[in-house]
Amino acid sequence: MTPLPRPGDPTITPALIAEHGLTIEEYQRVEQMLGRAPTFTELGVVSALWSEHCSYKHSRPLLRRLPTKAPYVLQGPGENAGVIAIGDGLAVAFKIESHNHPSAVEPYQGAATGVGGILRDVFTMGARPIALLNSLRFGSLDSPRVRYLFAGVVKGIGDYGNCVGVPTVGGEVAFDEAYEGNPLVNAMCVGVLHEKDLIRAVAQGVGNPIIAVGARTGRDGIHGASFASADLSEENEAKRPQVQVGDPFTEKLLLEASLELIHSGAIVAIQDMGAAGLTSSSAEMAARGDVGITIDVTKVPLRERGMTPYEILLSESQERMLVVARKGREREVAAILEKWDLTASVIGEVIAEPVYRVTEGDRVVAEFPGTKLITDCPTYTPDAREDPTITALRARDVGSIPERREEADPLWTLEQVITSPTIASKMWVYRQYDHTVRTNTVIGPGGDAAVVRIRDTRRALALKTDGNGRYCYLDARIGARIAVAEAARNVACTGARPLAITNNLNFGNPRRPEVYFQLREATAGMAEACEQLGTPVTGGNVSLYNESPASAVYPTPVIGMVGLIDDLDSITRSHFSTEGDTIVLLGTPTAELGGSEYLARVHHLVAGAPPNCDLKGERDLIEAVLASIEAGVVRSAHDSSDGGLAVALAECCIIDRGRPLGARIDLSSFAALPMRALLFGEAQARIIISTPDPTALREVATRHGVTSTTIGTVASADDPLEIRVGDRTLTASLPWLDRLYFETIPDIMTKSAAAVVTAATESPV
Amino acid sequence: MKFGIVTFPGSNCDYDTYHAVVDALGEEATYLWHKEHDLRGSDVVILPGGFSYGDYLRAGAIARFSPIMREVAAHAERGAPVLAICNGFQIACEAGMLPGALLRNASLRFVCEAVRLRVENADTQFTNRYDRGQLVTVPIAHGDGRYTADDETLARIEGEGRVVFRYVGGPGDADEWWSPNGSMNAIAGIVNAAGNVLGMMPHPERAVDDLLGSSDGMGIFESILSRVAA
Amino acid sequence: MSRFRVAVHIAPRRGLLDPQGKAVTDALRTLGFASVQDVHVGRHLVVEMDAADPAAAERTTRDMCNKLLANPVIEDFEIASVSTL
């Protein structure tokens, strides 16, 4: 059936096409696919599904290079979330997703709805969410606007997860002027399921009803998907869609009801109506099942009067799900939803005819042949060319930059680095997240990785998000490798074997050759690291067009790593715990300073080559740590990276706040290195271990080909952290370190009027 | 002994409470759905943490009108034990089972951390396994935990020894009152006049396993057990 | 029966510590509004209802406030307006 234009539809002009984010070539492709001109409603549908956010048109060819397979991968990319088996018939579903643009406009709701979306992606696989993590980037906290964004995002993440009752167990936050105006808000969710309950969002079975579940549909976020695919320019300001508002209480109901529906066997498939709402959920489910589908928009429960089919199809109202039920079991579905006070409306069905059809009552308003709507979207491989200014920055010999006069006192330098908001404790942030609900959090935020036990087993998961925009800016390939390697190292420090990752690629406008170059290099670096470390990619998200009038963001691939601990007794923490333990450094300090926090903080310089990333060495290091932990000779293990060895040692002393321990360190065997590189350089593949049995530990290290050096002993709570290098000694008292590390961010935030008002006026839930 | 755990649609600590009772304490537990009219033979009722009905109006405001709460109130009237934790405490105050109210934290921020509590009264049926003055570590996780009452009420509950737990030991003196949420008199938990309803913001069910940091909360469950069993 | 729109203001009881109000007061002063003396942050509810006349609408709304919408331990309420729809 050929759809007819509705009265009041605007005429399709080149300007209207451009406004929908489609090129003329793409529009012609639509005409070819249909054999006629599309209606306005169809134009809206195509523009949403062919937006970067939904179609990955600039990234798909690159993503194909990522390794996605391992014997334990049950579900790779292309579903709501990836799924891996962890033994005993149990599986883990996990995924990371961005909500960058909505958070730039309305930080509280933007971040909250980001959490809501990722939760739905996980529980629609049949998994109960057991943990949330995040990865956040903001501009400099010196700016009041940034403090407002930071406070709002943190509160939004907290309020949503806290209310649903899923612990936020970890994350990372970094601040850099490059993110001014375009913060990054990536949220990750991890869920556990029985393998037999795994359900995929694949529509099947002619005659099966399609049911809309949950909140009513309003005009929120219409064209959010295309909005996420455009620069945050001033010109776009006026076109910004209505902000989506989250309702975590309804989400909690949806979560419980969805899991009951899945366990009941009364449904075939379920998917979140996320970006591009009803359109993408229905079209994607139909395409995966290679079936036809018909939907009547007049059956969709609405929140506002007078909504057009175009608006109903593209609305991004939150907390809505689309379900394909088994014919004849509609009553069962309705009963479960009623228990949870949720409404359900049959809005369509799976049909034999190979079309994607939308009607308004009897009138067809959109119709696409087969699954072409999804499969016909073009992909692009634009020009890639490195920005020569970055090549020059990277080539700079940062080792020859003269020290500042104050650096004669390394304590001064330590103070500068440790009070960088990127390095300082994020306790101000995670105190606002309920990280103990569900009573499985063994290690919460603040350690190397979060550890969450799997109830009724001896197993636990180690979870970590990691990214490094500055390294990636200087060298996207190396930066991406480091992101994977560091996440794996963090997870291994807790005693877990790294299993798989989800990734979130946050980049600028891919149509600029220098941005596409970064995207290409980062994807390649990530692929190399994943292959070497044996951690396939099971899914993720690509967020492009992260630019604002002020600047382009750093290319920021974020890794969400999942590791498995086979026995709760292996769980290892980051901090020194026992006076008299020997401190051993695995790995080797280098003279590298490029891209370091030290350069950024002390010299206001982002330059040099990021540290070398030897993937074979990383793999050996991980094996060595895991073998040492298994041998029972590791009391604590902490990764040394951002901020360098001095910061990592300070963290080992103080991060178990309330129970700090001093340490006596002697780094004289590395005295040939420049002092600042030794203390603040960010050489990779290094782990600080405290051990009761250094001989056994070093023997395990040697067996794995890993260099180890005894560098000191754990002292008492009354002792300072003392670091000797040759004839120079740095002595930092624990209370001094504690204050710098833990009070930096609270000091900044309590002085900020904008942050205080955010706390005072946002919804209390 | 049978523990009934009331489950509102937005409850999210019902599961933790269930495991504390069944796994850690080794007793029987059953969930009581908010639409039910029957406590199903529960000896003890627990109002667990969460966000009852979303708590958009005021924490606990709507929950008090649910069918199950009528039964819970009757159960309390009979002198049977009710343990109201976090959101449960808010509901119990809204329902008039306990005096006072829980307001937004003074910091205006949600706060999640392990806090130190001092047992102020070890003679209640919820605390007989503790010693008076004992310090225990229990997690809190709430946005509305600032205990507030008028002067007269405050004087009365203090005078009658009904303040059961107090927050102590901020930076500095371990014994000093120190409230993470701005509660009056650093009050963390109180009982009703009859002593059979305990309301507390900290989560004892999150402190029943040393692997997770503390098992100090077990004392509450064991106290209930020894008292009711006796 | 006619349809009415009743607006209700709910504010923290006078004299109670009001950290939200205080935070906003401080923030406004920081921004240069030196003349600000005090701010209270409360809730504003709009109830649409059927009633015989405005007085009845107001009476019912008061009942709602006493029973659910306001907590007398911590809050005061006032009926801000009653208008016919």
Of A340-344, A581-585, A713-717, which range is least confident? Answer: A340-344
Residue A756's contacts (CB-CB under 8 Å, 6 or more residues apart) are A750, B108, C23, C26, C27
Q: How distant, in Å, are the alpha carbons of A690, A700, A703 from that of A707?
A: 16, 10, 10
Contact of C30 with chain A, judged by CB distance below 8 Å, is answered with yes
Specify the CATH number for C2-84; select among 3.30.1280.10, 3.30.70.60, 3.40.50.20, 3.40.50.2300. Answer: 3.30.1280.10
Contact of C71 with chain A, judged by CB distance below 8 Å, is answered with no
Give residue-wise pLDDT tens across range A646-696.
Answer: 999 999 999 999 899 999 999 999 999 999 999 999 999 999 999 999 999
Average pLDDT over chain A, rounded to an integer: 93
Q: If you ran DSSP here, which 8-state letter would residue A402 be given? A: P
Length of chain C as a residue count: 85
A465 membership: H or E segment, kind and range: strand A460-466
Which of A248, A432, A438 has the CB atom closest to B109's CB atom?
Answer: A432
Q: Chain C partners of A147 at a C-beta cutoff of 8 Å?
A: none
Do the Cβ atoms of C20 and A761 come within 8 Å? yes
Do the Cβ atoms of A760 and C27 come within 8 Å? yes
> Can B13 be counted among the known catalytic residues?
no
Per-residue pLDDT at A237 exceeds 90: no
Confidence of residue A8 (pLDDT cuts 50, 70, 90): confident
Contact of B14 with chain C, judged by CB distance below 8 Å, is answered with no
Where are the strands (E) in A326-395, listed by range?
A: 344-351, 355-360, 363-369
By CB neighbour count within 10 A (0-12 exposed, 13-18 middle, 19+ buried), where does A4 fall?
Answer: exposed
pLDDT at A115: 97
Mean pLDDT of A538-549: 90
Of B70-74, B138-142, C70-74, which range is least confident? Answer: C70-74
* Chains with at least 3 CB pairs less than 8 angstroms from chain A: B, C
**Residue A81 to chain B, least CA–CA distance (Å):** 24
Do the Cβ atoms of C41 and A761 come within 8 Å? yes
Give residue-wise pLDDT tens across range B200-221.
Answer: 999 999 999 999 999 999 999 9
Interface of A with C in 732-761 (CB under 8 A): 753-754, 756-757, 759-761
Q: How many CB atoms lie within 10 A of CB A700?
A: 22
Contact of A395 with chain C, judged by CB distance below 8 Å, is answered with no
| Residue showing tokens 């959090």 | A441
Residue ranges of chain B whose CB lies within 8 Å of a chain A CB: 9-13, 15-16, 19-20, 49-51, 53-56, 104, 107-113, 139, 141, 143-144, 203, 205-206, 208-209, 211-212
Closest CA to B200 of B149, B165, B153: B165
Which of C20, C23, C74 has the CB atom closest to B101's CB atom?
Answer: C74
pLDDT at A763: 47
Q: Chain B partners of A433 at a C-beta cutoff of 8 Å?
A: 110, 112
Q: Bridge-partner residues for B44, per DSSP?
A: B3
Confidence of residue A260 (pLDDT cuts 50, 70, 90): very high
Residues A284, B168: Cα–Cα separation, whole Å: 55
Q: Chain B partners of A155 at a C-beta cutoff of 8 Å?
A: 109-110
Confidence of residue B95 (pLDDT cuts 50, 70, 90): very high
Give residue-wise pLDDT tens across range B82-93.
Answer: 999 999 999 999
Closest CA to A461 of A571, A618, A625, A619: A571
Q: Chain C partners of B100 at a C-beta cutoff of 8 Å?
A: 73
ipTM of the complex: 0.96
Residue B17's contacts (CB-CB under 8 Å, 6 or more residues apart) are B3, B5, B29, B46, B48, B85, B205
**Residue C22 to chain A, least CA–CA distance (Å):** 9
Per-state percent for chain A, helix, strand, coil, to nearest 5: 40, 25, 40
3-state secondary structure of A690: strand
Residue A71's contacts (CB-CB under 8 Å, 6 or more residues apart) are none
Give residue-wise pLDDT tens across range B99-137.
Answer: 999 999 999 999 999 999 999 999 999 999 999 999 999
Residue A408's contacts (CB-CB under 8 Å, 6 or more residues apart) are none
For chain B, the domains span 2-229
By CB neighbour count within 10 A (0-12 exposed, 13-18 middle, 19+ buried), where does B196 fall?
Answer: buried
Contact of A762 with chain C, judged by CB distance below 8 Å, is answered with no
Closest CA to B161 of B124, B131, B201: B124
**Phi, psi (deg, nearest 5) at residue A516:** -65, -35
Where are the strands (E) in chain B, listed by range?
A: 2-7, 28-33, 44-47, 82-85, 101-103, 111-119, 135-142, 146-148, 163-168, 187-191, 197-200
Q: Looking at A58, A99, A223, A704, which residue is catalytic?
A: A99
Which of B58, B104, B150 has the CB atom closest to C71's CB atom?
Answer: B58
3-state secondary structure of A342: coil
Disruptive mutation site among A157, A425, A432, A436 for chain B (greatest number of B CBs within 10 Å):
A436
> Can B93 be counted among the known catalytic residues?
no
Give residue-wise pLDDT tens across range A74-93.
Answer: 999 989 999 999 999 999 99
| Residue showing tokens 């990636």 | A472
Q: Chain A partners of B104 at a C-beta cutoff of 8 Å?
A: 764
Interface of B with C in 158-217 (CB under 8 A): 182
**Phi, psi (deg, nearest 5) at residue A574:** -85, -25
Residues A417, A404: Cα–Cα separation, whole Å: 14
Give residue-wise pLDDT tens across range B32-62.
Answer: 999 999 999 999 999 999 999 888 888 888 8
Disruptive mutation site among A147, A751, A757 for chain C (greatest number of C CBs within 10 Å):
A757
The better pLDDT of the pair C75, A395 is held by A395
Q: Looking at B71, B75, B86, B93, which residue is catalytic?
A: B86
- Cβ-Cβ pairs closer than 8 A, A with C, add up to 22
pLDDT at A764: 39
Q: Bridge-partner residues for A721, per DSSP?
A: A663, A732
Per-residue pLDDT at A234 exceeds 80: no
C28 membership: H or E segment, kind and range: helix C19-30
Are A318 and A102 within 8 A, CB to CB? no
pLDDT at A377: 87
Confidence of residue C74 (pLDDT cuts 50, 70, 90): confident
Mean pLDDT of A391-398: 97
Q: Chain A partners of B55 at a C-beta cutoff of 8 Å?
A: 163, 249, 764-765
Give residue-wise pLDDT tens across range C9-29.
Answer: 998 887 777 888 888 888 788
Disruptive mutation site among A756, A761, A762, A763 for chain C (greatest number of C CBs within 10 Å):
A756
Per-residue pLDDT at B72 exceeds 70: yes
Q: Chain A partners of B144 at a C-beta cutoff of 8 Å?
A: 764
Specify the CATH number for B2-229; select among 3.10.105.10, 3.30.43.10, 3.40.50.880, 3.40.718.10. Answer: 3.40.50.880
pTM beyond cutoff 0.90: yes
Which of B62, B101, B182 has the CB atom closest to C19's CB atom?
Answer: B182
Per-residue pLDDT at A236 exceeds 60: no
3-state secondary structure of A695: helix
Interface of B with C in 93-132 (CB under 8 A): 93-94, 100-101, 103-108
pLDDT at A238: 45
pLDDT at A538: 98
